Amino acid sequence: MRFSYTVSRKGCFVMNSFLKGMLLGVGIGLLIAPMKGDEMRNMLSERANEVRGYLPENEQIDIYRQRVSDRVSQTTGTLKGYAQQAASSVKQTASNLNSLAQNATSNVKGTSQDVVDMTRDTVKSTSNDIR
Q: What is the 3-state secondary structure (H, E, C) of 92-110?
A: HHHHHHHHHHHHHHHHHHH
Does residue 62 fall inside a structural domain? no
At residue 3, the pLDDT reads: 47
Does residue 54 fall inside a structural domain? no
Share of the chain above pLDDT 70, in %: 89
Cβ atoms of 77 and 69 closer than 8 Å: no
Does residue 91 fall inside a structural domain? yes
- The predicted-structure confidence for 85-98, as pLDDT tens digits, reads as follows 999 999 999 999 99
Highest mean pLDDT among 41-50, 97-106, 114-123: 97-106
- The predicted-structure confidence for 54-85, as pLDDT tens digits, reads as follows 766 777 778 888 999 999 999 999 999 999 99
Pick the more confident residue, 54 or 22: 22
Does residue 38 fall inside a structural domain? no
Q: Could you give the number of structural domains in the chain? A: 2
Dist CA 29 CA 27 (whole Å): 5
CA-closest candidate to residue 13, choices 2, 24, 5, 3: 5
Does residue 101 fall inside a structural domain? yes
Sign of CA dihedral 110, 111, 116, 122: positive
Pick the more confident residue, 36 or 70: 70
Does residue 115 fall inside a structural domain? yes
Judged by phi (left if over 0) then psi (alpha if -120 to 50, else beta), residue 36 lies in beta
Pick the more confident residue, 49 or 101: 101
Residues of the domain holding 107: 74-131
Does residue 65 fall inside a structural domain? no
pTM for the whole structure? 0.41
Pick the more confident residue, 103 or 38: 103
Neighbours of 114 (CB within 10 A): 10
Does residue 8 fall inside a structural domain? yes
